[in-house]
């Protein structure tokens, strides 16, 4: 499952690059995104988002509250994380092509901060909207 997700993310990230007017490509069955034919990003298992999908879903399901909204919010949140990851992969490929020196920093810090911040914001929104009411001060 992880390997197939990596291939899908690379292919979709390359597709996003093409939609944006760049020469993005990914060879059939390969988790590598290329820009103008030069390999730029290899999508590995730690970066496929699978752990984030599980973490997000687990947090939402574990919170007390009605089940019905969870049935749409969990898949929607996973889709948003997936789309963020595709965007991250495409931008890292461009980063590698145009300014290779900052790729390591952006991969490990900038995008981690953005993705985890977005997931945290979705959790906060969920907890405030569907979580238990705060206890009143005595």
Residue 97 lies in a domain: yes
Question: What pLDDT, in 10s, does the model give residues 42-60?
Answer: 999 999 999 999 999 999 9
Domain that holds residue 98: 2-130
The reply to whether 35 falls in a domain is: yes
Please state the domain count of the chain. Answer: 1
User: pLDDT band at 130, cuts 50/70/90?
Assistant: confident
> Does residue 87 sit within a domain?
yes
Predicted confidence band of residue 1 (pLDDT cuts 50, 70, 90): confident
Classify residue 103 by burial, with Cβ atoms within 10 Å: 0-12, 13-18, 19+.
middle
**Bridge partners, residue 25, by sequence:** 34
In a domain, 136, yes or no: no
Residue 126: inside a domain: yes
Residue 138 within a domain: no
Asked whether residue 98 is domain-assigned, the answer is yes
């Amino acid at each position: 499952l992880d390997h197939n997700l990596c291939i899908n993310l690379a292919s979709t990230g390359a597709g996003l690059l093409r939609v944006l007017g760049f020469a993005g490509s990914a060879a059939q069955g390969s988790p590598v995104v290329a820009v103008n034919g030069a390999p730029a990003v290899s999508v590995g298992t730690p970066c496929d988002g699978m752990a984030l999908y599980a973490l997000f879903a687990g947090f939402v399901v574990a919170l007390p509250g009605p089940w019905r909204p969870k049935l749409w919010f969990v898949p929607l949140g996973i889709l948003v994380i997936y789309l963020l990851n595709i965007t991250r992969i495409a931008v890292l490929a461009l980063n590698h092509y145009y300014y290779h020196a900052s790729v390591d920093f952006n991969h490990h810090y900038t995008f981690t901060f953005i993705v985890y911040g977005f997931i945290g914001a979705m959790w906060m929104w969920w907890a405030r909207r569907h979580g238990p009411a705060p206890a009143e001060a005595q």
